[in-house]
Amino acid sequence: MNDITGLTLIETLKALEEKKFSSEELNKAYLERIEKINPRLNIFLEIKKNPQNMPAAIKDIICTQNIRTTAGSKILSNFVPPYSATVIDRLKEKGIGIIGKTNLDEFAMGSSGENSAYGPTKNPWNETKVPGGSSSGSAAAVAADLCTFALGTDTGGSIRQPASLCGVVGLKPSYGRVPRYGAIAMASSLDQIGPITKSVADARLVLEWISGPDGKDSNCVDPASCKVTPCAARGCLAGVRVGVPREYFGKGLDKGVEKVIREAIKKLEELGAEIVEVSLPHTEYAVAAYYIIMSSEVSSNMAKFDGIRFGSGREDFGPEVKRRIMLGTFALSTGYYDDYFAKAAEVRTLIKQDFEKAFEKCEVIVGPVSPTVAWNLGEKIEDPLTMYLSDVYTIPASLAGIPGLSVPCGFSDGLPVGLQILGKYLDEETILNIGEIYEQSTDWHNKKPDLGKEA
């Protein structure tokens, strides 16, 4: 069976159960494909020699016991964690194995993958393009069929944006749904671990595996609210109100992307959804507030990398990490706290309220994930501000702590575009159901990048 690697997670589980192939054959198929493709795309920082069980790819910011975990940083080039993240332990209980650790922007700081100390990952759809970031390797690994599914982390869009740019499904759960223990912190009040998958149903399954309190992440919510029921009524969105925020279709949104998103919204309408215009008036302040809150937390979270107990010295931090440490240190300094951090926290509350108000009129909010499709490697790396603005549609949901899904919804200039579906806090169920109904009534999820004859 040469198309083992093309199967979704759920299809693979079924095939294993029906003994269509063995776990050994499964891992062998993936490993062979990785050997052929990885050297070109630079997706994996670590490839397991004898992978077993269900082969998953893990973003290299999630601690794996006895497997080197670098966070994409030179500072951790020799760091082998003595413990595993909660999500890793939970996957292991479900029979999931690790096939490799995936490349990322250093400490998840970036939107293109180019801030990795180990060289950029390339987009499987076009090797001259970025895969998005910071979960670059995880999204690219799923797009290139180098794993059954992957885990990423999302702080301001780091799951949704690369999923969009690589044409796969990416879910950022509500803040507090998945325990963060073992995920190396970037900005603690925003970080969430989530799945990157080949189908919406796969994302739902993985979410259920990894959700719920672990007694280690104090911000994790009650297990009673963590059950995600599978999609009941397929193929129909009658009675569902879909909000379209006018602020997500303004200046800066690429025309080609806009066209694809508008078509996707039309499709939702065809499926029976009622389309309502909503407003998220504080969207324009989101990026600024995010950069203050995130960098403040970063400046404190990065302090442990002092080279005393593990890792090398802080001179090994890359430029983007240093930039954020400096920004955050400034924002928290005496005399500046009220003007920066406290103000940003107020904006965050307003943004949360924007969503609460909008959700009075609709069950989900849809729009673009990224204002553009994947751009050229090197194109924005010298211009951090432009890079920051590429997260303008993902950041508000991060600040509000609500769940967001990216579902493939077409192409522009031959590159994938993702539809972002945002839901109420802890209502992953609805966004997954709507995402799945959309996915199953379109063909976008079946499109695969052409990786040439070697693949």
Give the residue numbers annotated as catalytic, written as ranges.
Answer: 59, 134, 158
Contact flag: residue 65 with another protein (CB under 8 A): no
Contact flag: residue 210 with another protein (CB under 8 A): no
Residue 207 CB partners (closer than 8 Å, separation 6+): 171, 173, 177, 178, 194, 195, 228, 428, 432
Contact flag: residue 312 with another protein (CB under 8 A): no
Residue 35 CB partners (closer than 8 Å, separation 6+): none
Q: Calculate ∠ Cα 117-80-329, nearest 5°.
A: 55
In this structure, are residues 57 and 100 in contact, taking their beta carbons and an 8 Å threshold? yes
65 burial level (CB within 10 Å; 0-12, 13-18, 19+): middle
CA 413 to chain centre: 23
Q: How far is the CB of 224 from another protein (least distance, A)?
A: 17
Number of residues that bind another protein (CB under 8 A): 42
The rounded distance, in Å, linking the Cα atoms of 151 and 170 is 9
320 in helix, strand or coil?
A: helix
Contact pick of 118, 181, 359, 425 for another protein (by CB under 8 A): 181
In the shown chain, the binding pattern of residues 287 to 306 toward another protein, with x for contact by CB under 8 A and - for none, equals ---------xx-xx-xxxxx
Which strand (E) or helix (H) includes residue 352? helix 343-358
Contact pick of 50, 215, 255, 385 for another protein (by CB under 8 A): 215
Q: How far is the CB of 155 from another protein (least distance, A)?
A: 11
Contact flag: residue 81 with another protein (CB under 8 A): yes
The window from 75-83, 255-263, 350-358, 388-396 that contacts another protein (CB under 8 A) reads 75-83
Contact pick of 17, 19, 334, 360 for another protein (by CB under 8 A): 334
Count CA within 13 A, CB hemisphere, residue 213: 9
Contact flag: residue 218 with another protein (CB under 8 A): yes
Contact pick of 77, 189, 353, 441 for another protein (by CB under 8 A): 189
- Residue labelled with tokens 């199967």: 7
Contact flag: residue 183 with another protein (CB under 8 A): yes
Contact pick of 23, 225, 329, 430 for another protein (by CB under 8 A): 329
Contact flag: residue 333 with another protein (CB under 8 A): yes
Contact flag: residue 222 with another protein (CB under 8 A): no
Contact flag: residue 109 with another protein (CB under 8 A): no
357 in helix, strand or coil?
A: helix
Quote the DSSP letter at residue 381: T
By C-beta, is 218 or 446 nearer to another protein?
A: 218
